[in-house]
Amino acid sequence: MLWSSRRRLDPARHRFLGFPEDAYVDAMRDLRLHVGVGAPEFAVHRNVRYLPPRRADPDPWATGGLISSSGDLIPLVRDWSEAGQDLLGLRKPEASGPGERIEGDVLYLGWLFEMFGHILIESLARIWALDFVPATTNVLFHYWPGVEPPQVAFDILALFGIDRDRIIIPQGPATFSSLLIPDPMFLITSVVHERAAAPFRAVADRITGEAPLSDQPIYLSRSNLSSGKRAIAGEAAFEALLRDNGFLIVHPETMSIAEQIRIVASHRTIALCKGGAAELLLFAHPGARVHYFTARPMLEDNVLISETTGVHATYHYALRMRVSPFAAVRLDLDAAIAGLVEDGLLPNLSRVPFLPSDRDLDAEFDELWLYSLLTGLIPMDDAALSAAEPLLDTIRATAWPVFAALAARMPADRLSDAQADTMMTLFTNALLEEPDAGKRYRYAAQVRALAETALRRCTPATQAIARAAIEARLPMSV
């Protein structure tokens, strides 16, 4: 069985650099994470009642599930292991009518997630089973009734041979005469099957064809993502250094899914920061070398992906964060550079003396973190606001997105209307002098909305000047 037959990670393919606590790494590598080696199986259930999830529920992720003909909850992992109990879905049976009846064999594939990474490692965790059912077999996903899934989900599923017309997403309770439930090959943060990447490898081989592997290293960048995504202080400077050393800087969000897979699958060396489309590495070529720049605690799923794909991974403790992993992080350039130099990937270090100083990086990090707080990536409670106030003195005159966020979101007892007016004057002056078109592009949509809120607190003169600057300097199409 998948969950009773396991092995530990292969230590020869995982290298950890700079982590301050060896015990943490040892526990993750040798005790917490495991690799399934048993043969995956199907469970066949007759007359299964499906209950859709409810977004309005206080805990929506604990809604939606499968009920047997005897009224018992059907576990989504056969041995109902500790990891299996953490899977999304019903925690106990619920009464409901049978609803629509669907005849014939249907393959259950779990939840259809909306986020790119979760689609790959969770919605496709059972994708191996497609090879063992007829190509016409329909598949069942949990999803919110009355809501159309994102197009990216359908684009990804199509690459694995699942067209939209094969996908069943019930809009209410339904009864399935024959539901095939395959073992998942990936349970996040805990277990991966040693053959979990095989379906991804098949897709990658089909897309890349006979093209040879490239020796040019690539870096999967986050630097052009919208301002609503986690920013990395120091990434722009790091990318300039990588370009000097022959790296191709890749912005996955600008590519189709097939193009993303092609570029990851066809290069021998891949570098990326935490969150940089790391799940794309499921398509990486076995034997590729991967450099993750990560934080403490790091994301264990990256280790599981490396294990099942057969890449050789180095995890650099090179990101620093405060409070929330979803807020801005700071890249430790010295730590990031050291590991790449050791592997011979940075032969040209002439730019190093001109990289930002620690003081400059800290100032950039303070601004990005404060912006994250003010725009909702961190809960803006009293503790967070108190932690933010000392940073106000470190904000540079060029931080126009932060000025807009401060004036829009800081409560009146911490920032008066007169101070908000001053902030928006600073915002206008900085925006008019901003030379970086890429930065203006990334922040345009969010800052436009913030500024409109902030300007309600300002004098008519400040409003007129600020709105003119916004129209002149912030593009509409983002």
Q: Within this chain, do residues 140 and 279 fall inside the same structural domain, yes or no?
A: no
Model confidence at 86, pLDDT cuts 50, 70, 90, reads: low
171 is a domain residue: yes
DSSP assignment, residue 135?
A: T
112 is a domain residue: yes
Q: Within this chain, do residues 352 and 364 fall inside the same structural domain, yes or no?
A: no
Q: Within this chain, do residues 206 and 337 fall inside the same structural domain, yes or no?
A: yes
Arithmetic mean of pLDDT, 57-84:
77
32 is a domain residue: no
Q: Write down the residue that tokens 């003169």 correspond to.
A: 461
CATH number at residue 294: 3.40.50
Tokens of 167: 């996908």
Q: Within this chain, do residues 328 and 271 fall inside the same structural domain, yes or no?
A: yes
Q: Within this chain, do residues 352 and 386 fall inside the same structural domain, yes or no?
A: no
Last residue of a domain, one of 129, 151, 184: 184
Domain boundaries, position 385 = 360-473
Q: Within this chain, do residues 172 and 204 fall inside the same structural domain, yes or no?
A: no
Q: Within this chain, do residues 380 and 423 fall inside the same structural domain, yes or no?
A: yes
Q: Within this chain, do residues 227 and 334 fall inside the same structural domain, yes or no?
A: yes
- State residue 220's pLDDT score: 96
- State residue 313's pLDDT score: 94
Residues 6+ apart with CB under 8 A from 215: 268, 269
Arithmetic mean of pLDDT, 421-440:
94
Q: Within this chain, do residues 51 and 169 fall inside the same structural domain, yes or no?
A: yes
Last residue of a domain, one of 301, 327, 356: 356
Model confidence at 52, pLDDT cuts 50, 70, 90, reads: very high
Q: Which helix (H) or strand (E) holds 155?
A: helix 151-159
Residues 6+ apart with CB under 8 A from 209: none
Instruction: Tell whether the model's pLDDT for residue 118 goes beyond 70.
Output: yes
For 334-378, the pLDDT digits (tens) are 999 999 999 999 999 999 999 999 999 998 998 888 888 888 756
Confidence (pTM): 0.89
Last residue of a domain, one of 339, 356, 373: 356
Q: Within this chain, do residues 339 and 408 fall inside the same structural domain, yes or no?
A: no
DSSP assignment, residue 121?
A: I
Instruction: Tell whether the model's pLDDT for residue 79 goes beyond 80.
Output: no
14 is a domain residue: no
- Other CB atoms within 10 A of residue 206 CB: 11
Arithmetic mean of pLDDT, 213-219:
97
Tell me what the pLDDT averaged over the chain comes to.
88
- State residue 60's pLDDT score: 85
Tokens of 436: 């970086």
330 is a domain residue: yes
27 is a domain residue: no
Model confidence at 276, pLDDT cuts 50, 70, 90, reads: low
Q: Within this chain, do residues 54 and 84 fall inside the same structural domain, yes or no?
A: yes
**227-256 exposure pattern, b = at least 16 Cβ within 10 A, e = fewer:** beebbbbbbbbbbebbeebebebbebeeee
Tokens of 205: 């081989």
Count of structural domains within the chain? 3
8 is a domain residue: no
Which amino acid does the sequence have at 388? A
Summarize the chain as % helix, strand, coil (round to 5).
40, 20, 40
- State residue 198's pLDDT score: 96
Instruction: Tell whether the model's pLDDT for residue 84 goes beyond 70.
Output: no
293 is a domain residue: yes
For 121-168, the pLDDT digits (tens) are 999 999 999 999 999 999 999 999 999 999 999 999 999 999 999 999
**385-395 exposure pattern, b = at least 16 Cβ within 10 A, e = fewer:** bebbeebeeeb
Q: Within this chain, do residues 283 and 301 fall inside the same structural domain, yes or no?
A: yes
Q: Above pLDDT 90, what percent of the chain?
A: 60
Which amino acid does the sequence have at 379? P
